[in-house]
């Protein structure tokens, strides 16, 4: 295997977006991810996922998702971690990320008791978190949520259904978005903490995707939860929930960069080794131009992602414009890069078991989850019309 594929450290990590601590973090995560591949394979998928979370906790990487009380959220570190993990294995990234998405509302709006009960175990990797938002008929339209939470003596009763919920079936707790009815649409939603063993909560068999990812559907049938399960205020659920996406959207783009870089490495390996029409593929002008397109996509995506992370960390700008732009540009770029890698690899690129074929399947969902590309375009467009875009 060539140095381009085995050596993750690339020039952009040394750019002024980062501090020395970020360089060291990138090296540490790379070393962990490469070492994790050599561990014995666990047959049960749920156990495998939990083992990854436990290992991330033992390596102390989950502290970047669940920082100390009052510590700032370092989006540059989050993006570097996701890029490095996805370069090696998309499942590593998925298990890392859900620990943050499934706890950020607790960090931002939880009571001291909620924080003490849930956050330490999630930070150590002992407990697995999940976020139950998507519904069978809702898709990207969060305001169309139909799962209800009815206030009763001593608590709430949940009824409804969720689908495509990452970690469903083996998570220890779920952040559940439900309609409490304070106002129409998104203003009538609330967020609840629901333990996995709560009566009335049931998970389906795992959903099979085009790429390996743990998820299932969930149903709530007269699922009774205590009054202190509410996170924040009733009716403020949209704000509570969307705060997680504003933080994590740039990091989706970072995952796309990591995946695209791995595809580029495989394409270069092919171009350097494969002979075609009496010469190395890499000597053909068409191949060289295709590789240049891939490189320009990767650099553009990376710069957009780390601009968004830097704007958040250094300027303190948490407006959605840069976050949505990063997710949009990088996820779309990853799709194009991997598609070109498949084309350069020919039949091998569409053969099951080939790494490029695996990357192709892993790249496609990035344009859908945590807000489809069309949603990102709407947010960006609205900010442009309103004059809220900052450089």
Catalytic residues: 370
- Whole-number Å distance between alpha carbons of 310 and 308: 5
Residue 130's H or E segment, with its range, is strand 129-132
Angle between helices 237-273 and 75-88 (to 10 degrees): 40
Q: Which two tokens stand for residue 134?
A: 């998507």
**Distance (Å, whole) CA 297 – CA 334:** 8
State the Cα–Cα distance between residues 35 and 37, nearest whole angstrom.
Answer: 5
Q: Residue 313 carries which DSSP code?
A: I
Look-up of token digits 């590789």: 291
Q: How do strand 173-179 and strand 129-132 relate by DSSP bridges?
A: parallel
DSSP-derived secondary structure letter, 351:
S
Write out the E strands in the chain. Answer: 129-132, 148-152, 155-166, 173-179, 189-195, 201-203, 215-226, 230-231, 275-276, 279-280
> φ, ψ for residue 222 (rounded to 5)?
45, 50
CA distances from 351 to 22, 90, 137, 260, 334 (A): 37, 19, 34, 19, 20
């Amino acid at each position: 295997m060539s140095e381009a594929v085995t050596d993750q450290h690339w020039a952009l990590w040394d750019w002024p977006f980062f501090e020395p601590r970020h360089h060291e973090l990138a090296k540490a995560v790379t070393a962990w991810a490469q070492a994790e591949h050599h561990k014995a394979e666990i047959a049960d998928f749920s156990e495998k996922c939990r083992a990854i979370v436990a290992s991330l906790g033992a390596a102390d990487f989950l502290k970047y998702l669940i920082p100390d009380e009052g510590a700032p959220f370092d989006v540059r570190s989050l993006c570097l971690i996701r890029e490095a993990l996805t370069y090696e294995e998309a499942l590593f990234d998925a298990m890392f990320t859900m620990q943050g998405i499934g706890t950020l509302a607790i960090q931002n709006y939880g009571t001291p008791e909620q924080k003490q009960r849930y956050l330490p175990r999630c930070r150590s990797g002992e407990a697995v978190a999940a976020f139950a938002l998507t519904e069978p008929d809702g898709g990207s339209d969060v305001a169309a949520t139909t799962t209800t939470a009815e206030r009763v003596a001593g608590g709430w009763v949940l009824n409804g259904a969720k689908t495509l919920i990452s970690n469903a079936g083996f998570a220890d707790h779920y952040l559940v978005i439900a309609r409490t009815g304070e106002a129409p649409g998104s203003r009538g939603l609330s967020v609840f903490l629901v333990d996995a063993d709560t009566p009335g909560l049931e998970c389906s068999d795992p959903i099979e995707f085009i790429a390996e990812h743990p998820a299932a559907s969930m149903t709530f049938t007269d699922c009774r939860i205590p009054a202190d399960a509410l996170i924040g205020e009733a009716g403020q659920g949209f704000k509570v929930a969307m705060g997680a996406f504003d933080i994590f959207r740039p990091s989706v783009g970072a995952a796309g960069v990591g995946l695209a870089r791995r595809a580029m490495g495989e394409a270069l390996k092919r171009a350097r080794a494969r002979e075609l029409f009496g010469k190395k593929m890499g000597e053909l002008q068409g191949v060289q131009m295709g590789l240049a397109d891939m490189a320009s996509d990767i650099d553009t995506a990376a710069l957009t992602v780390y601009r968004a992370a830097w704007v958040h960390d250094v300027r303190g700008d948490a407006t959605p414009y840069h976050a949505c732009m990063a997710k949009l540009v990088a996820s779309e770029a990853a799709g194009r890069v991997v598609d070109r890698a498949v084309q350069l690899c020919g039949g091998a690129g569409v053969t099951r078991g080939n790494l490029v074929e695996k990357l192709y399947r892993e790249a496609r969902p990035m344009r859908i989850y945590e807000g489809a590309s069309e949603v990102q375009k709407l947010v960006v467009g609205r900010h442009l019309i309103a004059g809220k875009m900052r450089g």
